[in-house]
Structure 1
Amino acid sequence: MLAETHVDYAVQLMKKANLKVTKQRRDLIAFLYEHQDHYLPIKTVDQYLRNFYPRMSYETVYRNIDELSDLHIVEKRMFSSGLHVKFQCDFDHVQHSHFICENCGRVVELKEPPLAQVQDQLPDYQITAQHLEVFGLCPKCQL
């Protein structure tokens, strides 16, 4: 899928949810798409947007990220350094797993074991979601 197609798909999801499509939200989505292989600190996203929209508050950036996260357009994760966000890497499987490089922050989507395999290990439990994150060093950071 081309970059414009991904961004356009995200815009369509916003419209479908009756979320106003503003230039700021579109720029936010485009910026995150350009960095889709990394979780970015929310402060980095805030600084980027304020270069173009100096009157935009941190609260507005945070609220937009929350709204886009609710629509599964962006993924949020809390790391020891604070809240980080990235563009959704798999719209067809919004609950998926990642390898995250502990040095550079690169993110690689992983194929998860089928939920049935996990359910077999927990026969008396009801599983409602599955998410796995694996941390380590990517090949570039191992040099």
Structure 2
Amino acid sequence: MSDCLRVGVLASGQGTNFQVLVDEANAGSIPIQVVVLVYNNPGALVAKRAHRSGVPAVLLNHRLYSSREAFDEAIVATLKAHSVDLVVMAGWMRVVTGVLIDHYPDRLLNIHPSLLPAFRGNRAIEQALEYGVKVTGCTVHLVRLEVD
């Protein structure tokens, strides 16, 4: 896997997107190696998925940091320690700051659970259901300072 991108995943919950990334990487379907999981919720099931997959999991509880920037600095330090090339926010329920965005320009992806620009924010699925759409999907996009 020396030609693979070293990927760090940020996740907050169940870890279904994390698991797909790991499974597809292991199958050789995508040229990546998931080298670290950073999660912020102490009860997140994604940590168990990482353990079962042999991926190091690092808990960084956002509640223990004085600011969003301080939290993102800790994330950057963790990702750097694992020589991450690309960061994927896969169910990451935190808004990130310029600290993280600037350190990984054009190398920070988010999986948003709607077809943007429809249903922005953290209630995208709920909003789509309330609106009554017949078809929905997800958007994978480069992270910028503007919130999706």
* TM beyond 0.5: no
Q: Shorter-normalised TM-score: what interval?
A: 0.3 to 0.5
TM-score for both structures, normalised by structure 2: 0.33
TM-score for both structures, normalised by structure 1: 0.33
Please identify the structure whose Cα radius of gyration is greater: 1
